Each structure stands twice: as structure tokens, then as C-alpha cells.
Amino acid sequence: MEELGLIDWLTVAAYFLLVFGLSWWVIRKNRDTPADYFLAGRNLGWFIIGASIFASNIGSEHLVGLAGSGATDGVAMAHYELHAWCLLVLAWVFVPFYMRSQVFTMPQFLEKRFSPMARWVLSVISLVAYILTKIAVAIFAGGIVFSVLLPEIRFLGMDSFWIGSILIILLTGAYTVLGGLRAVAYTDTLQTFTLVIGSALVTFFGLRALGGWEELRTICGSEMFNLWKPLVPAGVEGTWAPVRESGRMAWYFNGNYPWLGMLFCAPIIGLWYWCTDQYIVQRTLGAPNETEARRGSLWASFLKLLPVFIFIIPGMICFALATSGKVEALQTAIMDEGGHVVVRENAQAAFPLIVKHVLPVGVRGIVVAGLLAALMSSLSSVFNASASLFTMDFYSRLHPNVSEHKLVWIGRMATIAMVAIGLAWIPVIKGGKGLYDYLQGVQAYLAPPIFVVFFLGVFVKRLNAKGCLSALVVGFLLGLFRLGVDTPVKLWGTEYAEGSFFWIIHNIFFQYYSLGIFLVCIGVMVGVSYLTAPPSYEKISGLTYATLTEKDRRESRSSWNWRDVAATAVVLLIILAAYLYFTG
């Protein structure tokens, strides 16, 4: 049962018809205004907002990285997936400020709080980061899914990796260019349920093939079910089968995710991503009021609890089926020739491998549709976010009197440009060595300065534009320095002399380096701000807690009730239960 059957192909075809039918219905409702194209007319309901946030997040890093991490590192990456609490921070802390400011983009909010220069710097960094990371990783995952499920397909001299990547980019770009955020949000809702149902089926059939949950725990062992990893240096014998990467043995299960780094670094990255990243927050900006924006974020926090069970657990199931020999094809696919060691690069295909070798015909079509849903939703989100940043933060500022029709046209052209950049990325991605792991580390180096200026900016009114700009510049330079050191090693296999300065920098856990950037940015922002003149508190009225008016507080209080509080409490209890269960 390794090939897609007729019923599978019919299911995939039906999924595409639904996506493009829904897109066409949404496109016909669009008006030719920036608010409609970039923020869906600020008329998205909480259900659509939450589903779109979740679908935007669930993409390539889950299909390839998260399931692959489950196969090699167990539940270590669940720290990031239990970040549903970060969405609660978005709902209760940041949504009121974002809705009051009526901004189109996160850099625009930073301009209101600090200065136009801060907006420009964040816009540049965000655009570059989206191109180098989010677009690249989405294409990489699309290519892997197609190369696993349809390895024999060829067209005009292109293999399945090329064909899959091109199809994902062009099909997603089509409805994103025409429909804007409204098309993205509505198709995301459909894709959310396709993805959840499909991934849940993978977990169900995978456990059935393995022999149940207890069998999974027995084969994987307590270490793979433990969130808190002790520090065991690379090459030191651990307690379970090692991982092979780049021809050497390394105990990544213990060495890649030290508990101290995960405890402090993961929240910084999570709060940056969920509370300040245009890619995610743009959905809440499309809400008509604070109530819908908050409830959309709360709904997304419930959905965010699912990936541990529909992505990490399938990866662990793949590991168990391979190491136990119960599915010989999986053993051949992800382990070395002797069948003793998991090959990290091969394990990145854990999820589509289970789809191919474990699921029955008929069910496989549903899951393939879910895989495509995840890829398309994350890619459409980054296309739309990038177009919004370019149009509203660059073009509109350079051409302040441009018509609304022209802004929408520029937005569409910017999206097409993102599609073209995505296509140009394919040969780089296909040839890159260890590209995925490299890209996943980028956000750890870019997140701290953005986190610092947003959070301290909201909580401390004394911090000024000079402090903000200094923290952004210093933080980004430190991040770029680490990326410059990592790039030759990750992409081309260059090795530094052991004990040299660059060797030490490269071998510092990325979590600890990220924490270093975080502490430096705090010191720089606070120090520079207090050494220079305070900001005008009248100009930042309503943008910090200390400058809220009585009217602001009253309106915000009237936007929630006991149901919102109860939903928040339920999410927190589920997160606590998960941490207790996955603590060895």
C-alpha cells in the first residue's frame, strides 16, 4: 500500500476544488481598498481569526521539522508547541494596544510608540527574515513531501522535489495575489480542519500499526518522553540510540535541547512570534473590535495544543516502527545500513513516510490533502505578510498621496515578487547541506531585540526612540554575527579549528546565545533611554500601560466577560497537565 490509489487522488482533487472554490467566492466579495486587501476590511470573526492563526503557524516546520524532531529527539520540541500560553499574552496584553492603534503592520505600531526609524529598521529585518526563512522553509518542506510521496514523477527534466515546490508556490500565490488577507483567512479555516483530521488519522493508524500507546512508551523509553533534557556533551554515551549527522555520532537527544536554555529561551522566541510577528498578528488586526480579536486569539490557543499529538507523536511512532523493525520500509528509510542509528537528515521525512507506508488507501488521500493544506496556508500567510510590509511600510511612505487602488495593485505586485523569489530559492534549497536546521536557528537570533522593544515599550513609558533603535541595531548585529559564523558550517560543511574563537561561538547552544542577545538588548535599551531625554507622554497616550486613559481602560474592560476568563483557565490547565505528563 505504498502508492496513492484512485480514491486518494479523487480526495486530493476534491480538496483543491474546495480551496479554489472558496477563494473565488471570497475574491468576488473584495473591495479595492488597502483595508480590505491587507486586513480583510477589518471584519474577520473570532472563529476565522483563530483558525487562520493556527493554519499560518502549522506549516513546513511541523511537517518536516517537528515530526522529524519527534523521531530523533522525542518530545523535546513540545516546549515550543505548548506555547499556547503565548497566545493568551497576545489576547490579554497586546490585542488592546493593537486594536486602539488601528495599525496595518507591527512596524507601524513601533513607529507610533517610538519613531519612524524604528519602523523602517523592523520592516527591513522582517522582510529579509521572511524571504530567507519562512519562504525558504515552506518550499523545502513542499519538495520533501512530494519527493517522498511521488518519488518517480518527472516533467521536463525536473524531479519530484522541483515539481512539488513549483506547484505549491504557484497555486498558493494565485489565490493570495487575487484575494489578499480575506482569501488567506477563509482558506486557512478550511485547511485547518483538513490538516487536523488528516494528522489525527496518522496518529491513529500509526499507533494501531505499532500496537498502542504503551508499546510506543516502551520502545521509545522514558528519555524520549521527557521534556527536560540533561546536558550530555556530543559524543558522550547516553541512554538511547544515537543520531547520525554529517558522518559523526552525536547524542542530540540530550545535547541539542538543554533544559535551562529551553526554560528561558523558548518563551522569548514564543512571545516574539505569537505577539509581535506580522505573520501571525495580522489576523487579529483584521478583527472589527477588541472582543473578536481576543476571542480569536483564545480559539487559536486551544488549537495550538494539538501539534504535540498530531506531529511530534507521529514522529516518535515513525522512530518506534523503524527501530522495532515492524515496518521494514521505515527502518530502511530513516536508519543507517546496519539499522542501529537514526540518520537525522532522513528523519526529516518521518511524517510523509508514515503516510506512504502505514496508512491505508483512501485515508492516505485525506492526509495528503492535509499536508498540502499546511504547506499552502503557511506560504500564503508569508506572501500576504510580506506584501503588507512592503506596501504599507515602504511604498506608502515614499508615495503618501497614492490612491487606494494603486496601493492594492502594489500589494499584488509585491506578492508576485515574493512568488518569484520563492521560485528562485529552489536550487539553493535543494542543494543546501543541513539547510533546514540552519534556518530553524535563525529565529532564535532575530527574536530577542524585537521581543525587548515591544514588551518593554508597552510596560515602561520612560523608554524612548533612541533606546529602541539602539537595542534593535545592536541585537540584529549580534544575531547576524552568529549567522555569519554558522552559515559556512551548516550549508557547506566548513569546519573551524577546535578551540578557536569562531569554533567556540558556533558551538555555544543557540538557546544560550539567544539569551545573551536578549540580556544585551535590555541593557542597551534601558541604558540609552535613561541617558537621553524621555519621550513625549502625550504622543504615546494609549500605547503603554502607564499612559492609558480612563476611557481606554473602561472600553477594554467591557470587551471581555467570564467566558473569556474561563477559556483562558482551561488552556492553562491543559498546558500544566501536558508538562506534568511529559516530565520523567
Query: Smallest Cα–Cα separation from 42: which of 290, 334, 404?
Result: 290
Q: Is residue 363 located within the same domain as residue 226? A: yes
Q: Is residue 236 located within the same domain as residue 368? A: yes
Residue 197 lies in a domain: yes
Q: What is the pLDDT of residues 12-50, one digit of tens each?
A: 888 888 887 887 887 776 666 676 666 666 778 899 899
Q: Is residue 56 located within the same domain as residue 100? A: yes
Q: Which residue has the cell 489525527?
A: 200
Q: How many domains does the chain have?
A: 2
- Report residue 441's pLDDT band, with 50, 70 and 90 as the boundaries: low
User: Which value, to the nearest 10 degrees, does the dihedral of the CA atoms of residues 30, 33, 38, 44 take?
Assistant: -50
Q: What is the pLDDT of residues 555-572, one digit of tens each?
A: 889 999 999 999 999 999
Domain that holds residue 225: 6-431+549-581
Q: Please state the separation of Cα 445 from the chain's center in Å.
A: 15
pLDDT of residue 519: 95
Residue 555: in which H helix or E strand, if any?
helix 550-557
For 208-212, which contacts have Cβ atoms below 8 Å and span 24 or more sequence positions?
209/317, 209/321, 209/326, 209/327, 209/358, 210/317, 210/320, 210/321, 210/324, 210/326, 211/326
Q: Is residue 357 located within the same domain as residue 380? A: yes
Q: Is residue 460 located within the same domain as residue 525? A: yes
Q: Is residue 295 located within the same domain as residue 197? A: yes
Residue 559 lies in a domain: yes
Q: Is residue 510 located within the same domain as residue 566? A: no
Mean pLDDT of 518-527: 96
Residue 247 pLDDT exceeds 60: no
Residue 354 pLDDT exceeds 70: yes
Residue 574 lies in a domain: yes
Residue 13 lies in a domain: yes
pLDDT of residue 60: 57
Q: Is residue 557 located within the same domain as residue 537? A: no
Q: Is residue 365 located within the same domain as residue 258? A: yes
Residue 325 falls in which region: left (phi positive, over 0), alpha (psi -120 to 50) or beta: left
Residue 75 lies in a domain: yes
Q: Is residue 466 located within the same domain as residue 570? A: no
pLDDT of residue 177: 74
Q: Is residue 348 located within the same domain as residue 468? A: no
Q: Please state the separation of Cα 519 from the chain's center in Å.
A: 24
Q: Which residue has the cell 521494514?
A: 328
Name which of 74-88, 134-148, 197-211 the model is least confident about.
134-148
Q: Is residue 380 located within the same domain as residue 427? A: yes
Residue 1 lies in a domain: no
| CATH number assigned to the domain comprising residue 427 | 1.20.1730.10
Amino acid identity of residue 312, one-letter, is: I
Mean pLDDT for the chain overall: 79
Cβ pair 31, 407 in contact under 8 A? no
Count of C-beta atoms within a 10 Å radius of residue 3:
11
Compute the distance between CA of residue 304 and CA of residue 565 in angstroms, rounded to an integer. 18
Question: Which cell goes with 119?
Answer: 519602523
Q: Would you give the end-to-end CA distance of the chain in angstroms?
A: 37
